[in-house]
Amino acid sequence: MPKLKLPKPPVPPLPKQLNPRPRRPGGGPAETPLDMAKEAGTSVVDWVDERTSLSGAARWMMFRKVPRGTNWFYTLGSATMFAFLSQAVTGVFLAMYYDPSPTHAYESARYITNEAFLGEFVRGMHKWGSSVMVILVFLHMGRTFFFGAYKYPRELNWIIGVVLLILTMTMSFTGYLLPFDQRSYWATIVGVNINGTGPLVGPYLSDFLRAGPEFGATTLSRFYAIHMLLVPGAIAALIGAHLYLVAKLGTTAPPWLKAETDSELREEVA
């Protein structure tokens, strides 16, 4: 296929807020406490930026051109990311009280709900948030599929997305065991057995999840480690790669949007 040579988009201008404020006539000190606070904030940002040049990267990431016709469906990826962040924050607070031992897990979860300050609220956020994240990730995947965003040059971002989807499901599966009540215990045995029926890797996978031939104490700590260290770390890293590619490649225009003039696309092909 002949290579299209599209005009390079101009570098986005520095947003107004990042420009240094002109000095007041006379160069006197800032007048109100609010002015002083604003100036202090600007100096801190300037100080960091002078040493890191991070504002360039931030500008590249955040101030991008988006195609005409971009609509609410394009917010589903960010919504998924915020669901993940909410899970991470509430999860940290739950981890302060949760004890992943077979004798204490149920009691520690009960303590969180009934006694810890705002425990029921935080545990509820985490529990409902997990369903919200799963629903959002599917809706976001549907949006990218129906808008054809999986096609060249975004195939790699689709593949990263598939891994993110699997990891999101892994979070739900491993989290379900943690309250260690009758329901979560037996449901997880069923889930691990289903994994075992997979072709080739199935038996190894279920052995790995059980942490041995029997479902027991080691299973719970393994699920906990996967749930709160391994998978969230991988999700965070992959979201970074996913967003890098979104910023680099730009978002796909809605499928019903036509190029403004034919010559814009035909120039090099003819």
Give the binding site for ligand HEM (CB under 6 A). 74, 76-78, 80-81, 84, 137, 140-141, 144, 147, 149-150, 154, 157-158, 161-162, 164-165, 168, 235, 239, 242-243, 246, 251-252
At which residue do the structure tokens 């709160």 appear?
A: 228
* Minimal distance, residue 213 CB to ligand HEM, in Å: 33
164 versus 177: smaller Cβ distance to ligand HEM? 164
Instruction: Give the nearest distance from C-beta 109 to ligand HEM in angstroms.
Output: 25
Q: Mind spelling out the 3-state secondary structure of the chain?
A: CCCCCCCCCCCCCCCHHHCCCCCCHHHCCCCCHHHHHHHHHHHHHHHHHHHHCHHHHHHHHHCCCCCCCCCHHHHHHHHHHHHHHHHHHHHHHHHCCCCCCCCCHHHHHHHHHHCCCCHHHHHHHHHHHHHHHHHHHHHHHHHHHHCCCCCCCCHHHHHHHHHHHHHHHHHHHHHHHCCCCHHHHHHHHHHHHHHHCCCCCHHHHHHHHHCCCCCCHHHHHHHHHHHHHHHHHHHHHHHHHHHHHHHHHCCCCCCCCCCCCHHHHHCCCC
Contact predicate 119/113, CB 8 Å: yes
Residue nearest to ligand HEM (CB): 161
CB of 149 to ligand HEM, least distance (A): 4
Q: Toward ligand HEM, which CB reaches closer, 189 or 234?
A: 234
Report the nearest approach of ligand HEM to the CB of residue 83 (Å).
8
CB of 59 to ligand HEM, least distance (A): 17
- Residue closer to ligand HEM, measured from CB, 109 or 164: 164
Q: Which is nearer to ligand HEM, 126 or 210 (CB)?
A: 126
Question: Which of residues 147 and 208 has its CB atom nearest to ligand HEM in the complex?
Answer: 147
- Residue whose CB is less far from ligand HEM, 157 or 195: 157
State the minimum distance, in angstroms, from the CB of residue 78 to ligand HEM.
Answer: 4
